[in-house]
Structure 1
Amino acid sequence: MATGTRPPRPPSGVHGASRAAIRAGHLRTDRWWLAPAGTAAGLLAFVAYSTWRAFANADYYAAPYVSPFYSPCLAQNCEEMRGGPNLDLVGSWWGLSPALLILVFPLGFRLTCYYYRKAYYRSFWASPPACAVAEPHSRYTGETRFPLVLQNLHRYFFYAAVPVAAVLTYDTVLTFRDADYAWGHMGAGTLLFLLNAVLIWAYTLSCHSCRHIMGGRLRHFSKHPVRYRLWGWAGRLNARHMQLAWASLVSVAACDLYVYLLATGAFTDPRIF
């Protein structure tokens, strides 16, 4: 061996000695790529839409509806929202879209969510792209390095997601007013906001961290009957975590789009009573 040269590294990862020596990347004959491709398309569509709306900084309030992307409004440069959640906590120095102050919390909650980890690991990073399909990476380091180590912040994002869901519930209550802010109104948007609030709460409470907080560290369920029951409810929701993740993602985008169309005059809110 020549001086200064290093011996070749032994195969690792999917090509390691402990793995089956199969030359084919996989033996599946079904259209296994449809699921990761569909997931990638859905997530990219939402990212593109939410990015456009977040930086638009316009058309996010049409009385009595306020876009969930902009609520609560924490900056002084918000549109006038009479009776709405305009907190103005950061003052006038913030010159960008106020949505950027809010979306970091629900976005961080979703990005670190256990289901979404599986979704973008398979669809974007191919780690692995599907069951029984080997990943193309030579090594796997898990979530021990930056930026994946930030996934460990999921529980803290859960604590931030709960008040965000509470604010969206408050916004839903305000939709029972008409354009003149008189109570006793229900429009088509009210039903949409009600559905979104329910889905947001269901997705938030079905979170794995929520289930763990309820009863994950209890040694004796019999000594904590209330927490045991809460743990059981969270577990039943957790079984539908994937469906709730997608349903709430669609509903929150639909609410924002509905407000945008109202604010731009595309149509008027159909009144139910």
Structure 2
Amino acid sequence: MSAPPTATGRARISARTLRTDRWWLPPLVTFLALLAFVVYGVIRTFMNQWYWVPDYHYLAPFYSPCLSVACVPGASHWGQPAPDLGPLVPPPIFVLPFVLGFRLTCYYYRKAYYRSFWASPPACAVGEPHRRYTGETRFPLIMQNVHRYFFYAALVVAAVLTYDTVIAFRGADGGFGIGLGSLLMVVNVLLLWAYTLSCHSCRHLVGGRINHFSKHPVRYWFWTKVTWLNGKHMLLAWSSLISVALVDLYVMLVASGALSDPRLFN
């Protein structure tokens, strides 16, 4: 009998890739989209104004919850435990680490920015441009393992934004009212809940460590629903990211007086 073939390592080709399609387009679009959000987020955070509409109780998502003493009157629904540390530490700084921590460690976003920003690798069947690859076993990428804990923080933030949405149904006379802003906030909070609950950590939380689903019908029902959402995780990641930016921009325009909020009721 002939000896079995032995492994000789990866195939060696002179070209970076044998793909003939425009494989570079998806990572390029992802890079531009994420870069645009980052630029907007930085500018908006340090702008530190036009985030509260007292007439209708609209609070911009980037500033929720507003926990600093520097917050404008009426915008702090949960108190002001954080001090005023000056213009270099605006109110969003106290909350953004938890929000960004959840997004940055998200399984989908890892794929997105690994490919688009670090080209590691830029696409399937494209050569790895880096000489070494250690995965997520060293600092700082080993911090990706705390994603499950950021998930709990994301639940709290989603609950806070839900409260913001409820009180946004306010009329000019102080009673019940519906405006375009309140409807946009409803869409935004629904997308945020869908994205948060479609997280892989949530799927494991509701259905992990169960050997027999038949013995846990309630958890199995929740697991099937989360699994369905999980299949749309990428779509929900992008749609919720866009909705947060659009609602924040809308509240800013209304708060600055550049735009009048169309009222559907009162």
Please say if residues 78 and 98 of structure 1, whose CA atoms lie closer than 8 Å, have aligned partners that are also in contact: yes
1:6 maps to none
2:191 corresponds to 1:196: no
Within 2, Cα distance between the matches of 1:17 and 1:62? 66
SS at 1:81 equivalent: coil
- Count of paired positions: 255
Describe how 1:232-251 pairs up with structure 2 within 5 A: 232-251=224-243
Instruction: Pick the aligned partner of 1:126 from 91, 113, 119.
Output: 119
Please say if residues 53 and 59 of structure 2, whose CA atoms lie closer than 8 Å, have aligned partners that are also in contact: yes
Describe how 1:9-28 pairs up with structure 2 within 5 A: 18-28=9-19
2:85 corresponds to 1:94: yes
Q: CA deviation at 1:89?
A: 1.7
2:19 corresponds to 1:54: no
2:134 maps to 141
Deviations 1:79-115 (A, max 9, x none): 1126x5242122x353321111111111110000000
1:11 maps to none
Please say if residues 70 and 84 of structure 2, whose CA atoms lie closer than 8 Å, have aligned partners that are also in contact: no
RMSD: 1.4
1:267 maps to 259
Within 2, Cα distance between the matches of 1:170 and 1:183? 17
SS at 2:263 equivalent: coil
2:246 maps to 254
Q: Structure 1 counterpart of 2:155, which letter?
A: V
Q: Structure 2 counterpart of 1:153, which letter?
A: V
2:219 maps to 227
Deviates more, 1:153-162 or 1:69-78: 69-78
Q: CA deviation at 1:183?
A: 2.8
1:10 maps to none
Q: CA deviation at 1:179?
A: 3.7
SS at 1:129 equivalent: coil
Q: Structure 1 counterpart of 2:249, which letter?
A: L
Q: Structure 1 length normalisation: TM-score? A: 0.90
Q: CA deviation at 1:209?
A: 0.4
Instruction: Pick the aligned partner of 1:116 from 109, 119, 128.
Output: 109
1:174 maps to 167
Instruction: Pick the aligned partner of 1:152 from 138, 145, 151.
Output: 145
2:3 maps to none
1:85 maps to 77
Change (3 A) 1:77 1:86: farther
Q: CA deviation at 1:263?
A: 1.2
Q: Structure 2 counterpart of 1:137, which letter?
A: H
Which residues of structure 2 form unaligned runs of 5+? 1-6
Deviations 1:45-74 (A, max 9, x none): 000001111111111111320011111111
SS at 1:272 equivalent: strand
2:178 maps to 186
Please say if residues 165 and 182 of structure 2, whose CA atoms lie closer than 8 Å, have aligned partners that are also in contact: yes
Which residues of structure 1 form unaligned runs of 5+? 1-15
